[in-house]
Amino acid sequence: MSAVLEGRLSDLSSWKPEECSIAKAMDIVGTRSAILILRECYYGTTRFDGFAARIGITDAAASSALRKLVDAGLLEKRPYQEEGKRTRHEYVLTAMGSDLLPAVIALWQWGDAYLQGGPAPLERVEDSTGEPVHVELRSASGNQVPLENVRVRLNDDWRRARRERARTEG
């Protein structure tokens, strides 16, 4: 069971890994610390000490991961100051960071299904109905799509943009 690769993509050696969106995403969020910091942001954690303590990582690891997520645009640093203390920063999700939620929930859902060895400790439910929330592949028209019905092809807009970039840079 796999997706169908169309055209020149059917030769796996024709697709360069550095052009892959998954590879680019993993460069940013591909560490345990990065994903768990995002999890904590989705839960409402905003302060440095909260991230380090809840995830169980060193201050250096938290600092490095937070810097990378800020630099990539997933989090924004905002100053705050408690009375009588120096100015510090909190970390708040940007639209880009919020848009990653389905991917994080997909990992969570997969972990629930294959790694818990029984019922999952937490449930994801819709606030207004209490109904379970899950991630799945759906077409633009709303049809559920199994992996074997997914086709992967070169994006014509990407090809045009690539040609235009080469023309203006060359």
Contacts of 134 (CB under 8 A, 6+ apart): 105, 109, 124
For residue 40, give every residue at least 6 positions away whose Cβ sits within 8 Å of its Cβ, in sequence order, or none: 50, 51, 54, 55
pLDDT surpasses 90 at 33? yes
Structure tokens at 47: 């302060």
Q: What is the mean pLDDT of residues 34-44?
A: 97
Residue spans per domain, the chain: 31-98
**Looking at residue 18, what is its pLDDT?**
64
List, in order, residues 6 or more apart from 168 with CB less than 8 Å away: none
Question: Domain 31-98 has what CATH class?
Answer: mainly alpha
Over residues 57-112, the pLDDT tens digits come to 999 999 999 999 999 999 999 999 989 999 999 999 999 999 999 999 999 999 99
Helix ranges (H only) for the chain are 21-29, 32-43, 48-55, 59-72, 95-98, 101-115, 156-169
CA–CA separation, 123 vs 152, rounded Å?
A: 32
- pLDDT value for 100: 97
> pLDDT value at position 14?
74
